[in-house]
Amino acid sequence: MLDQREQQTDEKLVSRRAQKFSLWLGMLGMFMMFAALSSGFIVYTASGVDKGLKTLLPDTFIYSTIVIVLSSISIHFAYKAAQVGNLARQKALLFVTLILGLLFFVLQVNSWEILAERGIYFVNNNASQSFVYIFTGMHLAHIIAGVIVLIVALIGVFKPLPPDSNQFRMNLASIFWHFLDLLWIYIYVFLLLNQ
């Protein structure tokens, strides 16, 4: 009986290591994709065909940045609450993170509307300006994945999960969400420096 429990524990540890490794591998792939997009933008604008974005970024990008940083803080405290077994606090903070994630999404879509009002479209004569849509669109696709992860984590809090499973799920969710936060900050700074 004891050997069977030890074997199940070992299998769970191996499975969790594999899941965490897969997450890090996926995030590395996402980072490489954005690095390639950045390189493509730099090479394209250096070619002299276009002279950069030639537009100011919408103020909604600043608000998006504030919102996603706040969401990163809230998921951090949600994870801390999971570590001490405070499920009520964890639920509340996860819900706050989810709302902030959805608000970030809305602000980004609003940014596209502002850009379109300024005459900056995905397909136009200045391909450099199209990169704004590519960067933010690709990030939004990952935000959708992040929101799904948050919903799964929130549903998991309502289930009677063992504390270690709840903490592991929250650890993965917080790592991924922090990554999305840092990725947005990188994108925003990159676009600011090239506007």
Backbone angles phi, psi at 124, to 5 degrees: -155, -170
Domains of the chain: 2-193 (1.20.120.80)
Query: Per-residue confidence at 193, pLDDT binned at 50, 70, 90?
Result: confident
Q: Is 85 helix (H, G, I), strand (E, B) or coil?
A: coil
Dihedral of alpha carbons 181, 173, 171, 10, sign: negative
String of b and e for 149-170 (b: at least 16 CB within 10 Å)? Answer: bbeebbebbeeeeeeeebbbbb
Give the whole-number percent of the chain exceeding pLDDT 90. 63
DSSP one-letter string for 161-190: --HHHHHHHHHHHHHHHHHHHHHHHHHHHH
165, pLDDT greater than 80: yes
pLDDT at res. 15: 87
Residues 110-162 have pLDDT tens digits of 999 998 898 887 776 667 778 888 999 999 999 999 999 999 999 988 887 88
CA distances from 136 to 36, 65, 109, 133, 158 (A): 14, 12, 9, 5, 33
- pLDDT mean over 50-54: 65
